Chains A and B, each alone.
Chain A
Amino acid sequence: MNSDLIRQASAEEIESWIVAHIAEIVNVAPAAISPDAPFDSFGIDSAKAISLMVELENWLNLPDELPLELLFEAESIRDAATGIAAAVGDMAMQQGGAPQ
């Protein structure tokens, strides 16, 4: 696998990733994090929120930053994951990779 290639994760995979990382930050079991809740309902401060975003971008191997509104303005983690998956798909198209 080319190390520069974007990981085209599905919305479900991204949702699970976000849920797992929120759980780690707030120190609860992932099952306690509802994907229907908005991201800013967990009391995560801006420094930790940005660290999470940067980790997510690294995991997805993105060449560009994800717009923060995808995470902060979404009505739920699930919606955020859907928006992020779409943005990742667009970036992959720009990179020249065929969508999965």
Chain B
Amino acid sequence: MIQDEQIEYGGSAAAIRHHYDVGNDFYSAWLDPSMTYSSAMWDGLPKDAPLEEAQQRKLDYHAESVGAGEGMRILDVGCGWGGMMRNLRRTHGVSECVGLTLSEEQLAYIEQLGDPGISAVLSNWHDYCPDRPFDAIISVGAFEHFAHPQQSVEERRGVYREFFQACRDWMEGKGRLSLQTIAYGRMSPEDANPFISNEIFPAAELPTLEDIVVASKGLFRMERLRDDGLDYARTCEMWSNRLRGAVRSGVVDPAVHPVEKYSRYLRMSAAGFRMRKIGLLRIAFAAE
């Protein structure tokens, strides 16, 4: 477990590496082929649609939420392994995508994709200064890392507001932001499980819907809000099953990789979503 010596704005780099630099090969063994490490979306799909299809649905949902199309320049805050950017280029004809990540392994992975329309920057959103404005911004599964458990509610909302302000500035006051984040539901921050908060996502704090409403007020207008927690429960359960399958087929070696820890974390997260302790917010914003 890493020690938090100081609060870093916009997500602790050490904390991000702690979670995501376990190894690309480990994640590729149980994520879908697009390497999407966030909730899939089954809305509009058959109930038994496979994970790959539901991940594609999610990618398209966010692309549509920001009106992605030809000639656009789009920023992906917390771009992971670049699945969103690849889909924006391939399916929606977006001209240029820039992704922010704090993980060196993710940066290296994106660089070897070899798409001149896709680039990644190893930077915290707080320190990022684009040379040109963006037409739209997408952020999936990053907002969870922005605040720190030691911050007060006011401080957390202050950080979130800075993020919304930065997004608005990067789009010069016009354009759309599509946000996907886990949020507290019936559970309050004090009840967070120590295993998840210490071992899996150190130095991360979830927002509440209220935090987001307050922090975005006057900067963005909420156009659409969904809580798709059950989508995330299904996604986590599918990942857990795939991880088990990868162990059985010898692709993942439990002696090398933290199989037990991830399996427990994935199923506990699924239970948290099913019990509505946590939810999955998908919010389409328009700058105002």
Query: In this assembly, does B219 line the interface, its C-beta being within 8 Å of a C-beta of chain A?
Result: no
Tell me whether A47 and B274 are in contact (CB under 8 A).
Answer: no
Residues 244-280 of B at the A interface (beta carbon under 8 Å): 244, 264, 267-272, 274-275, 277
A68-B271 contact in complex given A46-B193, A50-B264, C-beta closer than 8 Å: yes
Inter-chain contacts of B270 with A (CB < 8 A): 68
Chain B residues within 8 Å of A46, by CB: 193, 268-269, 271-272, 275, 277
Interface residues in B, total, Cβ within 8 A: 18
Partner of A65, one of B244, B274, B277: B244
Smallest CB separation, A37 vs chain B (Å):
15
- Distance of A54 Cα from B263 Cα, bound (Å): 11
- Majority DSSP secondary structure for residues of B touching A: helix
CB-defined interface of A47-58 with B at 8 Å, one 1/0 digit per residue?
A: 101100110000
Distance A90 CA – B241 CA, assembled complex (angstroms): 16
- Give A87 Cβ to nearest chain B Cβ, in Å: 13
Q: Verify B193–A47 contact, CB threshold 8 A.
A: yes
Asked if residues B267 and A65 are in contact (CB atoms below 8 Å), the reply is yes
Evaluate contact between B240 and A47: CB separation under 8 angstroms.
Answer: no
Decide: B237 and A67 in contact? CB cutoff 8 A: yes
26 contacting pairs across A/B (C-beta < 8 A): A40-B275, A45-B191, A46-B193, A46-B268, A46-B269, A46-B271, A46-B277, A47-B193, A47-B195, A47-B268, A49-B271, A49-B275, A50-B264, A50-B267, A50-B271, A53-B267, A54-B267, A65-B237, A65-B240, A65-B244, A67-B237, A68-B271, A68-B274, A69-B233, A69-B274, A72-B275
Could you list 11 further interchain pairs (A-B, Cβ under 8 angstroms) beyond the known A65-B244, A68-B271? A45-B191, A47-B193, A49-B275, A50-B267, A50-B271, A53-B267, A65-B237, A65-B241, A68-B274, A69-B233, A72-B274
Query: What residues make up the interface of A, taking CB atoms closer than 8 Å to B?
Result: 40, 45-47, 49-50, 53-54, 64-65, 67-69, 72-73
Which 7 A-B residue pairs are closest in the complex by CB-CB distance? A46-B271, A72-B274, A46-B272, A50-B267, A46-B268, A49-B271, A50-B268
